[in-house]
């Protein structure tokens, strides 16, 4: 059975009750899956859905990025990212990053998410 948002959020909260910080999405995912399968039947969830639910319901998620292929859509809500434009010293406008207008996720230009940190 597919886990509902409240079930996923509950599992995340249970994990963060034991650990203040979880240092990677994989670690949280493994622990959340454990919580969701301790019931009678295992509830299905994907790492991506877990990440989205965490952010949506106010879990503090920090994104560390690394050089890499740019992403076009927000890793939290799937919306298209917009350019962040800044004027340089010479008055020219340069794109310095990408932002999601919906959830305020931001990332530098030419960077890709490398690690997600989850906090209580």
Closer to Zn ion by Cβ: residue 76 or 116: 76
For residues 12 and 6, give the distance between their C-alpha atoms in angstroms, rounded to a whole number. Answer: 10
For residues 25 and 31, give the distance between their C-alpha atoms in angstroms, rounded to a whole number. Answer: 10
Closest CA to 43 of 78, 10, 75, 71: 10
Which region among 11-19, 26-34, 43-51, 74-82 touches Zn ion (by CB under 5 A)?
74-82
Closer to Zn ion by Cβ: residue 103 or 117: 103
**Which residues ranging from 81 to 120 are in contact with Zn ion (CB under 5 A)?**
100, 102-103, 105
For residues 15 and 90, give the distance between their C-alpha atoms in angstroms, rounded to a whole number. Answer: 50
Pairing verdict, β 106-108 and 82-87: unpaired
For residues 12 and 9, give the distance between their C-alpha atoms in angstroms, rounded to a whole number. Answer: 5
Closest separation in Å from C-beta 105 to Zn ion: 5
Closer to Zn ion by Cβ: residue 43 or 100: 100
Closer to Zn ion by Cβ: residue 36 or 61: 61
Size of the site for Zn ion (CB under 5 A): 7
- Rule CB under 5 A: which residues touch Zn ion? 74, 76-77, 100, 102-103, 105
């Amino acid at each position: 059975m597919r886990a509902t948002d409240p079930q996923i959020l509950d599992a995340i909260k249970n994990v963060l009750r034991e650990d203040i910080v979880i240092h990677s999405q994989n670690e949280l995912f493994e622990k959340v899956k454990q919580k969701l399968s301790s019931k009678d039947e295992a509830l299905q969830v994907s790492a991506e859905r877990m990440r989205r639910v965490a952010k949506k319901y106010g879990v503090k998620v920090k994104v560390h990025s690394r050089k890499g292929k740019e992403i076009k859509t927000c890793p939290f809500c799937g919306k298209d990212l917009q350019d962040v434009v800044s004027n340089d010293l010479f008055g020219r406008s340069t794109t310095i990053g990408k932002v999601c207008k919906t959830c305020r996720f931001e990332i530098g230009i030419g960077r890709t998410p490398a690690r997600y940190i989850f906090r209580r």
